[in-house]
Amino acid sequence: MVAGRSRLSSQVGGPIRSFDHVAVPMRNTDAMVQFYRDLGFTVMEGPSICSVHFGDNKINLHRPERWQNESFTLRAPAAEPPCGDFCFVWDGPVDALRSVLDRAGAEVIEGPVARTGGRDGGTADGT
C-alpha cells in the first residue's frame, strides 16, 4: 500500500493528505456499537446512523433504516452489507483529482457534491 500511495502522490498536483471516514451499512449496529464502546471509543447514536469517533476520523455505522431507504443517496446502488466506503482528504484541485481517477479507469458517478464526513464537510466525487 505504501508504494501505491507514493506513486499516486508523485503523479498529481495535490496528493491525498489523510483519511477522513469510513461508512459501513450494518444489519446489527447494536452489537457493533457495544464492541466499540467496550474498546473505549466515543460513540454517538441516532435513529438511522451511529458514529464512532477517534481523532479527526469517524466510522459511520448505517442502520438498515438508513441503507434500505430509497431516498438515501450517500451510497452506491448496491450498498448493502457486507460492503462499505472509505473517504480520503484531497489537497489539490478537482481537475487534478479527476485526471487521476480517469487514468485509473474509475468512473465518476456523482460529484463533486457537498458532503459531511469525519470533518466539517467538503465536496466529494463518487466512484
In whole angstroms, how far apart are CA 21 and each of 9, 86, 95, 115? 20, 6, 22, 12
Which of 3.10.580.10, 1.20.1290.10, 3.10.180.10, 3.10.20.80 is the CATH number of 2-126? 3.10.180.10
Q: Which span out of 11-15, 29-33, 97-101, 112-116 was modeled with the highest average pLDDT?
A: 29-33
Domains of the chain by residue range:
2-126
Residue type, 47: P
Please tell me which residue, 63 or 75, carries the higher pLDDT value. Answer: 63
Q: Which span out of 27-41, 82-96, 106-120 was modeled with the highest average pLDDT?
A: 27-41
pTM of the model: 0.60
Kindly calculate the radius of gyration of the chain based on its CA atoms and give it in whole angstroms.
Answer: 16
Is pLDDT of 73 > 70? no
Confidence class for position 114, pLDDT limits 50, 70, 90: confident
Give the separation between CA 81 and CA 108, rounded to whole angstroms: 22
Give the separation between CA 26 and CA 55, rounded to whole angstroms: 23
Question: pLDDT value at position 78?
Answer: 61
